[in-house]
Amino acid sequence: MEPSILIIDNKVSSYALLQHLLPRAIEQTHVIHYNPDRATRISKQELEHIRLLVIGDDFLNLALYSELQRRYLRLPTLFLCDAESIKTTQITAQALPNASTLLRNQINLVHLRKAAFDLLNEGHQANIENAPPPSAEHAPEASDDDVDQTLYVGANSPSENTTPAPSAKDIAIDGYRIERELAEGGMGLIYLCTREETGEKAVLKTVSPKAENAVKLRAIERFDLEFEVISRIDNPHIVKLYDHGRVNGLSYTTMEYFDTGDLKQHLGTGISQQRALQYLVQIAKGLEAIHGAGIIHRDLKPANIMFRSDGTLAILDFGIAHDITRHLRLTQSGTKLGTPSYMSPEQGKGGYRTDARSDLYALGVMLYELLAGKRPYRGKVAKVMQDHLHAPIPQLPSQYWELQPVLEKLMAKFPQDRFESAYDLSHYLREEYRFDTLLDFDIDDTGNLISGQHDPKAHF
């Protein structure tokens, strides 16, 4: 089979022009087109003969490209972009060892020939002979297990962090006693420690020391911004942060320790409608505080909702949050994108800017999962993203019919059709369902609090 050029793009006009020009720009090559909007598939034999990737700047294209690079290939890449997206696309390209950008309105034989020549002669093409053999069953889409994991694009993927992390005995931070390693994060290790002043357990999150390069600088910058964002929010439903700094080249943050797990671990235990509402309103209260501080979380999901020992919930992991007060994103192009199962349509390619209502959409997905015991849209990444955009809002199991209006106002495809804010959601639950969002009690028709005994006249 002759060498191939793989185009991952869902803009038909660009593809038609590329299909005509690329074989002339790079002789003796075969052009393959993968459109994420359609049910197409690439064979193992075709993947093994790819010389060059051409990627459109749409989110679905980038998500599929991320999986393709992560699983199988390290190939020269040409990113197609519009004038509006060229700056962010260039950042993505600069984070990769062998990539460049080309404006769609500059697609012609001369520009394609030069771009292809420069990429193919830089000597960075991966040896795919030694890569794990892909199968047509999985390429280039992500598996069903990946749709609740945060997607990465570019050199900042946590799987590519090969720097040895320091052990617990090598770390010394004033006021803390390091106990043991808890987990490995995207950029370093996470440790259990004890606050010497209070005796409380805490979590130490680190960014591992690395050689000076752009990837490290961006990682540390995001790490600093994440602390700054969360530390200005004081709310019982937001993770508590203690300290932040650097010691011996190691960047660290300490925060409260949750010893009872996250919401994801509780999904399979069977959750009642009343309990699901209690979780919903607690998360909504946390979102009120976040949005009130000018922050959009953008990666709300059960794994980022933690349980305290007293049963209260707290939101954490602001690694891809957006600070709208200063127009700062804690992530940059070339890094995290979001978690497909919980992403709002506008985070994909819905044509709207993300705002507080994007987090409410994710909360709707979580409400459905709490009550139905499964995610509303399942399958591989491309299908899940398309379902968020176009599939009907799912129906709750019949016993939860009263909450269907809430779900529909949370998971509406267009932001303007959702609740305007987390406060509006809390107010709606109180007014329409007589469910108090501050205390776990019902309220009767006159507004009086009812005791913990369930009122048969109340909805829940």
Q: Which residues pair with 4 in a beta bridge?
A: 30, 50
SS3 218: helix
As a whole number of angstroms, the distance between CA 30 and CA 4 comes to 4
3-state SS of the chain: helix, strand, coil percent to 5?
Answer: 40, 20, 45
Q: Over 10-35, what HEC string results? A: CCHHHHHHHHHHHHHHCCCCEEEEEC
Run of H or E including 203: strand 201-207
- Kindly provide the residue ranges of all beta strands, DSSP E only, lying in 57-175, ordered along the sequence: 77-81, 99-103, 151-152
Supply 84's token pair: 């509006």
Instruction: Look up 299 and say whether it is catalytic.
Output: yes
Compute the distance between CA of residue 81 and CA of residue 72 in angstroms, rounded to an integer. 24
CA angle 268, 272, 277 (to 5 degrees): 110
Q: Distances from the Cα of 204 to the Cαs of 181, 184, 300, 305, in angstroms?
A: 9, 11, 22, 18
- What is the per-residue DSSP string for 400-431? GGGGHHHHHHHS-SSGGGS-SSHHHHHHHHHH
H-type helices in 253-380, by residue range? 263-266, 273-292, 345-348, 356-372
Residue 178 amino acid letter: I
Specify which residues 453 forms β-bridges with: none
What secondary structure letter does DSSP report for 160?
Answer: G
> 57, 146, 299, 442: which is the annotated catalytic residue?
299
β partners of residue 238: 315
* Active-site amino acid positions: 299
